Amino acid sequence: MTTSRIFRIGGELEVHRLGFGSMRLTGRGIWGPPEDPAECRTVLRRAVELGVDLIDTADSYGPYVAEELIGDTLGDRDDVVIATKAGLTRVAPDIGLGPAAWPPVGRPEYLRQECEMSLRRLRRDVIDLWQLHRIDPNVPAEDQFGVLRDMQSEGKVRFVGLSQVSVPQIEAARKIVQIVSVQNRYHLGDRASEEVLRYCEAHDIAFLPWAPLAQGRLSAEGPLATIAQERGEAVGTIALAWLLAHSENLLPIPGTSRVAHLEQNMRAANIELTPVEMAAIEEGIQ
């Protein structure tokens, strides 16, 4: 089974499909600075050395910590596509709180403010891909989509995306602004967004699955583990290879704060799963 390792976001931004997610470049509970900032900077530099040219982040990671690390480390690299997000705020470390630690705020003036601040932290003149982290149910959706359109027309952002949305929400947004990416939770153990993925395939929209490794909770048993053992790879590496083979619109963004884990994840880019292996994995997750 051979799949393309390249995707053109918006038909223009050519990136390798295995990217890097920066959420783990923060402290415990995705709050505050990381324990080892120097290692995190090394991770970012090593990711680029290994061929990563798509890095995903958000203003709420830290908050602000991940964006600042990326800006300090890679702010002068015009060969790396930076995708960031705004629309979720932070009130506490995410330690057992879940969504309660990430209240959505979609007021247009707030989204505009966060875009301006992200430009400053990332040390960019324009944000390659700016994504609405969540649609705020307390603000008219068309107002949120409208400010995305306005910031794009003003040249602050090049392309626009959405996060954790349904097909009807994508269609509503596309009536107001071009949508080139969707970022929903998706991994071997959670394929609730399969309909969204098929919609993205039909409309040439990039799908960036967040939590592609289920925060490390993928089963160490069954066909996935067997294939990993046979190939001498980690279960997570094979899970990423499955995502790359499952759909050419999937752009996984696994994250880590350790170089060894990064290198383990990146091996997935060179793994071609056979049809027999894909069938076994599919059967094992039914």
The answer to whether the beta carbons of residues 163 and 118 sit under 8 Å apart is no
Closest by CA position to 15, among listed 49, 57, 54: 54
Closest by CA position to 89, among listed 74, 65, 110: 110
The answer to whether the beta carbons of residues 140 and 173 sit under 8 Å apart is no
Per-residue DSSP letter, 98: G
Output the CA angle 8-76-49, nearest 5 degrees.
65
The single residue listed with the structure tokens 């003003």 is 154
Active site residue 61: yes
Closest by CA position to 207, among listed 19, 35, 71, 42: 19
**Contacts of 37 by beta carbon, 8 Å cutoff, 6+ apart:** 69
From the list 61, 110, 186, 199, the catalytic residue is: 61
Q: How far is CA 43 from CA 47, 69, 229, 251, 262, in A?
A: 6, 11, 26, 19, 7
List active site positions.
Answer: 61
